[in-house]
């Protein structure tokens, strides 16, 4: 393997339908916000190249396209992923509430199909709420109970927090595998 290709990571982006998974990936990898919601089937992925301390890193973000077909796709979707981003929506309606409750279901899925991987939560659509009124203890409890690395408030619409959130998981992966490659 070439030195420049030393770090290649599959990162899965999961969570309920319409929480903003695809929009977040698009925002981060292209800086564009897709206003139209195109329902496709299967899985889709986006490549992203980063460089940390002179090491080239390639990220492959896997995205669920079409929640209904997902059951069937699950094993191959999860296979060999190195990190997971669980997305929920902060919006104050049923979708928001349910997507929060389902974080633990998504985590149970991960545990079924993956080895120990790094997991972060993105609390998306922060542009739709008053941040001052947000009760952060709810998500903080889940993070603690489930031993996730952390959570980030994001908006795929305004871009708020998006770069920081993705960079956090990229840095985490880099540090982890840099350690590993040293000890080999």
Q: Which of 14, 20, 96, 152 binds ligand G3D (CB under 6 A)?
A: 20
CB of 51 to Mg ion, least distance (A): 28
What's the closest the beta carbon of residue 92 comes to ligand G3D, in angstroms? 12
Question: Smallest gap, in angstroms, from Cβ of residue 16 to ligand G3D?
Answer: 7
Q: Crossing angle for the helix pair 103-113 and 70-78, nearest 10 degrees?
A: 60
Alpha-carbon torsion, ordered 170, 175, 177, 180, to 10 deg: -170
> Closest CB to ligand G3D among 5 and 34?
34
Q: What is the DSSP letter of 131?
A: G
17 binds, among Mg ion, ligand G3D, none (CB under 5 to 8 A by kind): ligand G3D
Give 22: exposed, middle or buried? Use CB within 10 Å, 0-12, 13-18, 19+.
buried
124 sits near Mg ion (criterion: CB under 5 A): no
Cβ closest to Mg ion, residue 22 vs residue 81? 22
The arrangement of strands across the sheet holding 43-52 comes to 43-52, 55-64, 7-14, 83-89, 118-124, 150-153
From Mg ion, ligand G3D, none, interface partner of 12 (C-beta below 5 to 8 A by class): none
CB of 164 to ligand G3D, least distance (A): 14
Given 22, 99, 118, 124, the residue binding Mg ion (CB under 5 A)? 22
Residue 166 Cβ, how far from Mg ion at the closest point, in Å? 16
Q: Return the closest-CA partner of residue 110 out of 122, 101, 118, 99.
A: 118
Residue 23 binds ligand G3D (CB under 6 A): yes
Of these, 6, 8, 17, 69, which contacts ligand G3D (CB under 6 A)? 17
Q: In terms of DSSP bridges, do strands 83-89 and 118-124 run parallel, antiparallel, or are they unpaired?
A: parallel
Considering only residues 120 to 179 of the shown chain, the ones binding ligand G3D according to CB under 6 A are 124-125, 127-128, 155-157
Q: How many CB atoms lie within 10 A of CB 67?
A: 13
Which string of b and e fits 153-166 if b means at least 16 CB within 10 Å? bbbbbeebbbeebb
List contacts with ligand G3D (CB under 6 A).
17-23, 35-37, 124-125, 127-128, 155-157
């Amino acid at each position: 393997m070439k030195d420049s290709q030393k770090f290649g990571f599959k990162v899965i982006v999961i969570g309920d339908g319409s929480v903003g998974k695809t929009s977040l990936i698009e925002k981060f990898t292209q800086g564009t916000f897709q206003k139209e919601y195109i329902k496709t089937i299967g899985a889709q992925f986006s490549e992203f190249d980063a460089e940390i301390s002179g090491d080239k890193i390639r990220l492959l973000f896997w995205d669920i396209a079409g929640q209904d077909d997902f059951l069937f796709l699950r094993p191959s979707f999860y296979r060999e992923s190195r990190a997971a981003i669980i997305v929920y929506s902060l919006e104050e309606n049923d979708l928001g509430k349910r997507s929060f409750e389902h974080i633990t279901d998504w985590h149970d899925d991960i545990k079924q199909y993956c080895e120990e991987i790094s997991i972060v939560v993105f609390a998306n659509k922060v542009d739709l709420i008053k941040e001052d009124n947000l009760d952060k203890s709810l998500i903080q409890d889940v993070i603690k109970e489930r031993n996730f690395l952390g959570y980030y408030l994001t908006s795929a619409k305004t871009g708020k927090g998006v770069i920081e959130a993705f960079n956090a998981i990229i840095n985490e992966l880099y540090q982890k595998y840099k350690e590993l490659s040293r000890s080999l």
